[in-house]
Chains A and B, each alone.
Chain A
Amino acid sequence: MFGYAGKILRVNLGENKVMVEALSEELCKNYIGGRGVGSKILYDEIDPKVEPFSPENKLIIATGPLSGTPAPTGGRYMAVTKSPLTYAIASSNSGGHFGAELKFAGYDLIILEGKAKKPVYLLIEDDRIEIKDASHLWGKLVSETTDSLRKEHGEKAKVLCIGPAGEKLSRIACIINDYDRAAGRSGVGAVMGSKLLKAIVVRGTKGVRLSDEEKVKKVVEEKLKKLREHPVTGQGLGAYGTAILVNIINEHGIFPIKNFQFAYHPEAEKISGEYMSEKLLTKRSACYRCPIACGRVIKLQEKEIAGPEYESIWALGADCGIFDLEAVSEANFWCNELGMDTISAGATLASAMELYEKGYIKEEEIKKDGLSLRFGDGRALVGWIKKMGLREGFGDKLAEGSYRLCETYGVPEFSMSVKKQELPAYDPRGVQGQGLVYATSNRGGCHVRGYLISAEIIGIPEKLDRFSTENKAKWAKLFQDLTAVIDSLGLCLFTSFALNLSDYTELFNAICGNNYTEETLLEAGERIFNLERLFNLKAGVDHTQDILPKRLLEEPIPEGPSKGERSKLWEILPNYYQVRGWKEEGIPSEETLKRLKI
C-alpha cells in the first residue's frame, strides 16, 4: 500500500507486550485511515458499554494515509477511544509533527490496551519498541515531561504526553504533543492517564512510499497554490491566527458571553486576533508541511509562549466574562502545561460562575480556595485553572466538566453542553445549521464535526441564510461526511476553506494510487459517521441526546444583532434523520447500513 506504512503497533500495557500487525487493506479501503480506521477498530475490539477508565477500554493513536506524505498539512493524527466525558466515541485530532514522525517510524496506528502496573512511557525508535519506567515523570508538567524525554532520546524525538490533569483522571484532560498541540476534546488524556501511560516518544527515519512521485509532486504543487492564493488560508489565518474570528462572530451577535447568557459584548476587541497581532505576537508557527501557519507565538511576561486559539480565547475569556487577553493567554498556557482541554476548562468555569451568581454555589464552599468565582474576574482565572488541573479544593469538582458539576447542584441545564461535552464558541440560536451539527455530533458538543459557520457566516463554499432552517439538514450531512474524510486522510480541516472534495480525491488517489471517485470517497465519510453513530447507540447514547441545552431552545438571545433568536432544532432534526437514512429514533435503517456496507 502506498501512503500507508501498512503496520499497526499493538501495545498491551498490562502484560508489557508489544506486537506488530499488518494493517488490513480492506479496512483502509472502506474506512480510509485516521478517524475512520481508528473508529472501526475500536468498534470491533471493545464492548461499547465498557467503563472508559477500565483496562478494557482501548486508546488508539491513528494517522491517516496522507500523514507524513508531501500532502499539505499531512502531519495529523487522531486519538480514538471511549470518552469518560460523554461515554460516546471520542476522536480528538491534533497537528504538530508527531503524526508524521509516527509514520516515518513505520506505523499507521498504535493500539494501547490494558493498564500498566506503574507509570510508564512508550519509546518507539523505528523497529525498536520499549515500554519504559516513567515514575520520574509522573506529576510533571507537559513542558517538563517533553524536555526530559527529548534530553534522553534526542532533540529529534517527537513527544506526545499527558499532564497532571490526565494523571488525575480529569474528564476534560487532553493529550498534548510537540509541547502545545492538543488532541483536545472528550477527555482522551484521562483515558491515557487511566492506563498509567505518561508519554509516547517517537523517532522515525523511514520514508513514506508514494504511488507516483512525479504525479504527486504536480498535484501537491497545485493544491499548495490553491491554499496560498486563497484569502483565508493564504492571508487571513496566517496573519491573525484563528482569533481573527472574535470580532466577526461578535458582530453577528453569536459570541457566547457569561455561559451563553448573552451573545454580544462591546469589549470583544480586547481579546481579538487584531489585538493579539498588534500587542503580543512575536511570530507565527506551523505544523508539519503546513503553508497556512495559523499558530501564534506571543510574548508574555518576557517569556515566549504559544498564543491562544479562537475557541480557547472565547472559553477562558468571553464565556467567563473576561476581556483581558494577557490573563486569557496565561490561562491557556496553564491548560497546555496541565494537559487540559481549553474549551471544556473555560466553559466549565463559566458554568461554575453562573452557579455562583445564581446562588447555587455558596461562598463558604469556595472560601478555602481564596479565589473569586465572579464573572469577569481575570485575576482569579489562572488560579482556578491550576486548581482544576490539579484537582485541588473546589477544582476537584471542576475537573469533572460542566455537566457533572451542574448536576451536583441539581441544575444540569446550566451546563452548556451536548452529550455532556461543552459547546464551543458560536451561539447556535443565531446559526441554525451549526446548532443541528452540535446536536448530532457523534462526540458531543463540537464545532469541528461539521463547521457550518463556514457557510452560514463566512460564505464558504456558499452563503447560507443563518436564521433559516431550509436545506440545513442536507448541508449538515455534507459537512459532517466531508469532515470525516479529511480527518481520516490525516489532513487539517482548515484546508477545506480552499480545497474541495475533488481536490481531496485527487490528492488521495495520486499519493496512494487509489481509484476513488468523489462519490465513493464521500461515501466512505458517510460510512465512518454512521459507524460512530452505531458505536454510540450500543453505548447507550441515543437520539434523546441529540439535543441542545434548554436555554438555547427556549430562551431567545436577549440583546445584540441576533436578538430574539432561538434554536429551531426540532424543526430540522426529523428531516436530518430522513436525509441520513435513519429511522425516527435516529437509528440507521437496514437499507442505509446495507448501502454503506457496514
Chain B
Amino acid sequence: MIKVKLFADFRKDRGKEVDFEYFEGINGKFILEKLKIDEKEIAVFLVNGKNKKLDEPLEDGDVIALFPPIAGG
C-alpha cells in the first residue's frame, strides 16, 4: 500500500488522503495521473519526508505528501 497525503487546494474533490495498491514500478507520475493533478501544479513531492523525482519507483509502505506552491512565514 502507498499512502498519499494531499494538502491545500489538492484536497478539493479528492479528500485528505488517498491509498494506492502497491505494484512493482509504481511511481509519482502514475499517482499524479490517477489523481488528475498536472505535474506543473506540484511544488513539493515528498516520499517519506524526502524530495524524490516523480519517475523514481516507489516502495511498498511509502508515504507521499503532495503540495502545490505555498509559502508564508
Q: Which residues of A contact B (CB under 8 A)?
A: 230-232, 235-237, 239-245, 247-248, 251-253, 264, 269, 273-274, 294, 309-311, 447-448, 451, 453-454, 457-460, 463, 493-494, 497, 560-562
Contact = CB atoms under 8 A, between A and B. Distances in A.
Interface in B38-73: 43-44, 46, 48-51, 65, 67-73
Contacts of A231: 43, 68-70
B51 to A, nearest CB: 8
A562 B49 contact: yes
Given A236-B68, A458-B44, A560-B49, A248 B7 contact: yes
Interface of B: 5, 7-9, 11, 16, 43-44, 46, 48-51, 65, 67-73
B47 to A, nearest CB: 10
Contacts of B68: 231, 235-236
A429 B8 CA distance: 26
B73 A447 contact: yes
Contacts of A236: 8-9, 68-71
B49 A232 contact: no
Nearest to B49: A561
Nearest to A241: B72
A308 to B, nearest CB: 12
A346 to B, nearest CB: 16
A460 B65 CA distance: 19
16 contacts: A230-B69, A231-B70, A236-B70, A237-B72, A247-B7, A248-B65, A248-B67, A251-B67, A274-B7, A310-B72, A453-B73, A458-B44, A459-B43, A493-B73, A494-B71, A497-B71
Q: Would you call the interface of chain A mostly helix, strand, loop, or mixed?
A: helix
B49 A245 contact: no
Given A251-B5, A274-B7, A274-B8, A237 B46 contact: no
B73 A251 contact: no
The 8 closest A-B pairs by CB, nearest first: A561-B49, A242-B72, A236-B70, A231-B69, A251-B65, A245-B72, A232-B71, A244-B70
A493 B71 CA distance: 12
B71 A239 contact: no
B48 A561 contact: yes
Most buried by A among B16, B44, B50, B73: B73
A559 to B, nearest CB: 11
B44 A457 contact: yes
A242 B73 contact: yes
Contacts of A460: 69, 71
A239 B44 CA distance: 18
A231 B71 CA distance: 10
A237 B71 contact: yes
Contacts of A459: 43-44, 69
Given A244-B70, A274-B8, 10 more contacts: A236-B68, A245-B73, A251-B67, A264-B49, A273-B8, A310-B72, A454-B73, A457-B44, A459-B43, A561-B48
Contacts of B46: 251-252, 561
A487 B71 CA distance: 19
A454 B49 contact: no
Given A236-B8, A244-B8, A494 B69 contact: no
B68 to A, nearest CB: 6
Contacts of B5: 251
Contacts of B7: 244, 247-248, 251, 274
A248 B46 CA distance: 10
A392 to B, nearest CB: 32
Nearest to A249: B72
A458 B50 contact: no
Given A240-B8, A248-B7, A274-B8, A458 B71 contact: yes
Contacts of A294: 72
A93 B68 CA distance: 28
Contacts of A237: 70-72
